[in-house]
Amino acid sequence: MSNVVAQVVLYANVDTFLSTVSAALHKRERSNNIPLGTLPRFLTDTPPARLLPRVKNEDEGFILLSTFDVRGEPCVFAIKTPAHPAVGIYAAIDPGQGLHKHCEALAHALLHRDKARVPLHFYGDERLVCGVAEAIAQRLGWPWVLQREHTYNAVTLTRKGLSAEIPRKMEDGHEVRRVTAAELEALGEKLLEMHQAMFKETWKVEAPMQAAKEIITACVKAGDAWVCFVDGQPASVALLTGETSGGKSISAVYTRPEYRKKGYAQALVDTLSKAVLEEQPEGYYLCLSCVPETSAGRIFAKTGFGSSQTYTMANVKLAKDLGLARLGLGIAITIAIYAWATYFV
């Protein structure tokens, strides 16, 4: 590991941190799926309102670490802000370039920066987060193990990848367009309700009212809130967030239950993707995260997302292995099922 150095960058050096890492991360922003354009806003004294609840052992401050190669080039980064419970792991190098050594170096740095508050939650490219988390688990020793909470695909779309089937035939009575700032007062409450419903359905948590309101308001004023209206009512919504050097992310896609399985979400994603990509220069891209083989995943695929590159992203955590207790529970369940089946023979 002599050719890798893990360096802790303190919050007091945020400007230096950003000037050092931004150019390197921009080179691989698609594979990292990181909204680099918003990163400076998250690394300020007043970061955006928090949406996800705090987790066990969370450091509520900032964590800024990076590894460097022998040439002094930044390679792999660990970034934690007060607005998110997990540590994001990102890379400016191809995963095949000594990734293991960089993950080991980051794990060592994370363990020694604050031994009383070792991070337990991570997200990012699966190869990166699992490498760092497994290295920490090995150092902590039994009973600590890595657990995957969510695995999903990070997919991108450029103008060339747009489906030739857009626009698709739809029944009359629907309209897809940006929500204007002038409509915020009339539609704000309904959009806020849909945003909170999306969060509860997707993440199983209640999104704080103020945080959700800030996001909706900012997106509407920036022209980044798109809605599919059916007979004048908002049926499906999507937000454009996380601007990068070459694109934006589609997030918070939600369709009200009574309007599902009618093609409105597809019309929304198709229309906003085509409109945004055609009004931007060639090479501009949209990115998003989705679980394949789900209704949402199929909608994005039909629009053209994932036609070029797909990256596997993951949310993982370190937890204590129940060991024999888990084995005992499994045996008990097996016996119970056998007894139940025998009873009805």
Domains in the chain, number? 2
How far apart CA 43 and CA 14 sit, in angstroms, is 7
In a domain, 309, yes or no: yes
Burial of 126 (0-12, 13-18, 19+ CB in 10 A): buried
- State whether 99 and 224 are in the same domain: no
CATH number of the domain to which 97 belongs: 3.40.630
Structural domain includes residue 335 = no
Asked if residue 325 is part of any domain, the answer here is no
Residue 306 in domain: yes
Q: Can you give the pLDDT at residue 248?
A: 87
Q: Kindly state whether residues 123 and 209 are assigned to the same domain.
A: no
Q: What's the CA gap between 249 and 218, in Å, rounded? A: 15
Domain boundary among 90, 110, 141: 141
Q: Is 281 exposed, middle or buried (0-12, 13-18, 19+ CB in 10 A)?
A: exposed
How far is residue 83's CA from residue 103's CA, in Å, rounded to a whole number?
A: 24
| 319 located within any domain | no
What are the pLDDT digits (tens) for 317-338?
Answer: 999 986 644 544 444 444 433 3
| 46 confidence band (pLDDT: 50, 70, 90) | low
Q: In the predicted model, what is the mean pLDDT of residues 235-247?
A: 85
Give the residue ranges of DSSP H helices in the chain: 14-26, 29-32, 39-42, 99-113, 126-140, 184-203, 209-221, 264-279, 295-303, 324-343
Is residue 126 in some structural domain? yes
Pure H helices in 44-125: 99-113
Where a domain ends, among 95, 113, 141? 141
3-state class of 64 per DSSP? strand
Please check whether residues 49 and 74 belong to one and the same domain.
yes
Of the chain, the end-to-end C-alpha distance in Å amounts to: 62
H-helix or E-strand containing 320?
strand 310-320
**Confidence class of residue 49 from pLDDT cuts 50, 70 and 90?**
low
Mean pLDDT of 155-167: 93
- Note the pLDDT tens digit of each residue in 254-291: 999 999 999 999 999 999 999 999 999 998 889 888 88
For residue 109, tell me if it sits in a domain. Answer: yes
Residues 47 and 178 in one domain: no
8 A C-beta contact, residue 227 and residue 237: yes
Least confident of 11-15, 46-50, 85-89, 130-134: 11-15
Residues 121 and 260 in one domain: no
* Same structural domain, 136 and 165: no
For residue 273, the enclosing domain spans: 158-313
User: What is the domain-level CATH number for residue 181?
Assistant: 3.40.630.30
- Look at phi and psi of residue 309 and say left if phi exceeds 0, alpha if psi is from -120 to 50, else beta: beta
Examine the domain organization and report whether 69 and 184 are in the same domain.
no
Instruction: Tell me: do 88 and 170 sit in the same domain.
Output: no
The pLDDT value recorded for residue 138 is 93
Which pLDDT tens digit goes with each residue over 199-218? Answer: 889 878 788 888 889 889 98
Q: Is residue 162 part of a domain?
A: yes
Q: Do residues 165 and 301 both lie within one domain?
A: yes
Residue 330 φ then ψ, to 5°: -65, -45
In this structure, are 174 and 260 located in the same domain?
Answer: yes
Does residue 90 sit in the same domain as residue 176? no
Question: Where does a domain end: 109, 141, 173?
Answer: 141
Are 84 and 217 members of one domain?
no
